Amino acid sequence: MTLYLHELKHGRKALIIWGAVIAFMLFICMIMFPEMKKQMDSVSEMFANMGGFTAAFGMDKIDFGTAMGFYGIECGNILSIGGGFFAALIGISALSKEEKNKTAEFLLTHPVSRINIVFQKLLSIITQVILLNICITAISALSFALIGENLAVREFMLLHLAYLILQLELACICFGISAFISRGSIGIGIGIAALLYFLNIIGNISDKAEFVKYITPFKYAEAADIISTAKLDTTLILIGTTYSIVAVAVAFMKYTKKDIAN
């Protein structure tokens, strides 16, 4: 597992920075909640009557004036964008960075099979995503305690589980693409995460675009749906998991036969 540990060590700075920034933003949002709560009656009503905008962010399904509602809408967006972008970035660069940074020759001329390399890199990505989510979940729970609000444990845990699965899916899809590219990976990763995020918003606004829920993982991580129903959409999660498995399988197949760029 030398490469696995090397990848974790090499990625630790980015993990700490992303984790700290996301956790800090969540924390700040939640600290602001008690102050905002006092003016929430009028604000909630305003947010609930903004038509497409209300639907786009699921504010028609949960009450923005409650701590969990506020957390789901405000923090949910920070989490899905921040966590999703982080996952996409580490996924897209996992394999391609070796060619981009010209370290592929160093790595691949050691007696480690390419299957093993792909496996260890995949494992390191999964580990980093899990570590990020543990850190964020803990900070979020702590922020609830600090402002003296009750945490709806089931909804909270389901929400964070959905974000974890969402990030793993994004990481796996980008990992699959990573096997095909040798440079320019960051733009592709951010582009994919942004595209899937906005697809979900479009799906929320327009009934005609409802089919996008089968494409974008952001749909099954919709805070409004999870908090209002206290359950996950297992069908969408299964579809997402299938995409992840296919992407990882493609990564293995491609990378084991790939001509490495000079």
**The amino acid at 185:** S
Q: If binding is defined by CB under 8 A, does position 14 make contact with another protein?
A: no
Distance CA 221, CA 244 (A): 15
Q: Which is nearer to another protein, 101 or 150 (CB)?
A: 101
Distance CA 185, CA 90 (A): 10
Closest CA to 200 of 140, 249, 240: 240
Whole-number minimum distance, CB 118 to another protein, in Å? 13
x/- site string to another protein, residues 43 to 82, per CB under 8 A? ----------------------------------------
Whole-number minimum distance, CB 186 to another protein, in Å? 15
Q: If binding is defined by CB under 8 A, does position 183 make contact with another protein?
A: no
Q: Which is nearer to another protein, 42 or 109 (CB)?
A: 109
Q: Which is nearer to another protein, 110 or 208 (CB)?
A: 110
Q: If binding is defined by CB under 8 A, does position 6 make contact with another protein?
A: yes
**How many of the chain's residues bind another protein (CB under 8 A)?**
21
Whole-number minimum distance, CB 210 to another protein, in Å? 43
Would you say 165 and 81 are in contact if contact means Cβ atoms under 8 Å apart? Answer: no
Q: Which is nearer to another protein, 42 or 262 (CB)?
A: 262
Helical segments of the chain, H only: 2-37, 40-48, 52-56, 67-70, 76-100, 104-108, 114-146, 153-178, 185-205, 223-229, 234-257
105-144 binders of another protein (CB under 8 A): 105-113
Whole-number minimum distance, CB 101 to another protein, in Å? 6
Q: Which is nearer to another protein, 44 or 93 (CB)?
A: 93
Distance CA 68, CA 36 (A): 14
Burial class from Cβ neighbours inside 10 Å (0-12, 13-18, 19+) for residue 160 reads: buried
**The amino acid at 47:** F
Place of tokens 């299938």: 242
Distance CA 162, CA 219 (A): 10
81-110 binders of another protein (CB under 8 A): 101-110
Q: If binding is defined by CB under 8 A, does position 207 make contact with another protein?
A: no
Q: Which is nearer to another protein, 6 or 37 (CB)?
A: 6
Distance CA 25, CA 86 (A): 15
Place of tokens 């296919």: 246
x/- site string to another protein, residues 242 to 261, per CB under 8 A? ---------------x-xx-
Return residues touching another protein (CB under 8 A).
Answer: 2-3, 6, 10, 101-113, 257, 259-260, 262
